[in-house]
Structure 1
Amino acid sequence: MELAINNSTKTVSVSDAIFAREFNEDLVHQVVVAYRNAGRAGTKAQKTRAEVNGTTKKSKKQKGGGARHGALTAPIFVGGGRAFAAKPRSFAQKVNRKMYRAAIAAILSELNRQGRITIVEAFDVDAPKTSGLIEKLKGFELGQRPLIVTEDASENLFLSSRNLPYVQVRDVQGLDPVALVGADSVLMTADAVKKIEEWLA
């Protein structure tokens, strides 16, 4: 299929398997959840009764004081350990490479069907200034949360976007499903489109 380049008579030829794929909601959901879980720290830690700092001396006599009990480090006492203490763990979920690439292609296809992908010949700023990027984005209708994808995001472009909380800049290598799903629209360079095709082929 052919995708039009903005403000140009040229078009870019793309594969139907990547930009006209059927949307698989279950697959996309699974990949997005797995991607977000992989970023979780998983560092929550609590102490068991064996680890809490406290005396292990018997708290009172065995007999004559009501219910019998031993150390005050038991979970039923204030300051005692947790019965089922949380320990550091990994939240990572296994996602096959084929599934990941298929999910990216499904998201791109859906964005294309909804007219939320804009392709340009090139996109960059001359200096690392936020005002310069804002001025350049005024020529496009990208919504509140645009995603800019270039073949190799320049330092000027990246630095210019840092003060704009809802504008994201990615190169093709840094493209991820969460950024694509969260964007109102995607601005791509023609070179980035070709590189994405090579990656997902």
Structure 2
Amino acid sequence: MKIEVKTLAAKDAGAIDLDDAVFGIEEVRSDLLQRVVKWQLAARQQGTHKTLGRSEIARTKKKFGRQKGGGGARHGARSAPIFVGGGKAHGPRVRSHAHDLPKKVRALGLRHALSSKAGSKALIILDDAVLTEPKTKDLRASLEGLGISNALFISGEQVDENFAKAARNLPLIDVLPAQGLNVYDVLRRDTLVLTKAAVEKIHERLSAKEA
């Protein structure tokens, strides 16, 4: 598929061919996208939540009350979960929430995410994302000219330092290098903006040979 290329000044800069296997999938699978997003967010969880069990409660372990005749159960410790101040039964423990997801599934999920943006006309290709000065005002004016207010920018191997600094103060604008492209960040923004260098990197990463 062919798509027009724009400059930051919203001027035409030719066109570029996109791989249909990466950007042209017609039937986008939401279940596949959900699997990849769930895998990403699970790996982000700290897993540091924890409660004290009955063996960790600093309370006396001495048996209280008589064995018989007390009219209740024969408890041996105040640290039992049944008592106020006792340990938590089956409470959360420190652990990793990360789980495995096949590499091919992750790559396929990224193809479907890119195709969903291309199919919904929410994909913009820029000639380059470079600024001479790190001025947010200038970048905001350029984005308004392109009709962009909520977007993820994917640059080439490295992000232009001036562009990254100018974008820091803009809400709903994210900037990542091509290596950082991921399904979650693509879906959480309304528009996906790729540079020509980013398209080349994406084609190398998601070419048919890895399918």
Normalising by structure 1, report the TM-score: 0.93
Query: Which segments of 5 or more consecutive residues in structure 1 lack a partner in the other structure?
Result: none
Separation in 1, partners of 2:35, 2:85: 40
Separation in 2, partners of 1:9, 1:178: 29
Range with greater deviation from structure 2 (14-23 or 123-132): 123-132
**Paired positions, count:** 200
- Determine which of 12, 20, 28 is the counterpart of 2:33: 28
Is the 2:42–2:98 Cα contact (8 Å) retained in structure 1?
yes
CA positional deviation for 1:167: 0.7
Query: Which segments of 5 or more consecutive residues in structure 2 lack a partner in the other structure?
Result: none
The reply to whether residue 8 of structure 1 matches residue 12 of structure 2 is yes
Separation in 1, partners of 2:40, 2:102: 12
The reply to whether residue 150 of structure 1 matches residue 155 of structure 2 is yes
Q: How does 1:33-48 map to 2 (within 5 A)?
A: 33-48=38-53
The reply to whether residue 129 of structure 1 matches residue 135 of structure 2 is yes
Separation in 1, partners of 2:13, 2:127: 11
Separation in 2, partners of 1:111, 1:70: 63
Which string of whole-angstrom CA distances, capped at 9 and with x for unpartnered residues, describes residues 35-59 of structure 1? 1111111111111111111111112
Separation in 2, partners of 1:133, 1:59: 72
Is the 2:13–2:127 Cα contact (8 Å) retained in structure 1?
no
Q: Which amino acid aligns with 1:4?
A: E
CA positional deviation for 1:189: 0.9
CA positional deviation for 1:94: 1.3
The reply to whether residue 109 of structure 1 matches residue 115 of structure 2 is yes
- Determine which of 18, 24, 34 is the counterpart of 2:22: 18
What's the counterpart of residue 164 of structure 1? 170
CA positional deviation for 1:19: 1.0
Identity of aligned residues (%): 34
Distance change (3 Å), C-alpha of 1:129 and 1:62: farther
Distance change (3 Å), C-alpha of 1:50 and 1:5: same
Is the 1:145–1:182 Cα contact (8 Å) retained in structure 2?
no
What is the CA RMSD across the aligned residues, in angstroms? 1.5
Normalising by structure 2, report the TM-score: 0.89
What's the counterpart of residue 71 of structure 1? 77
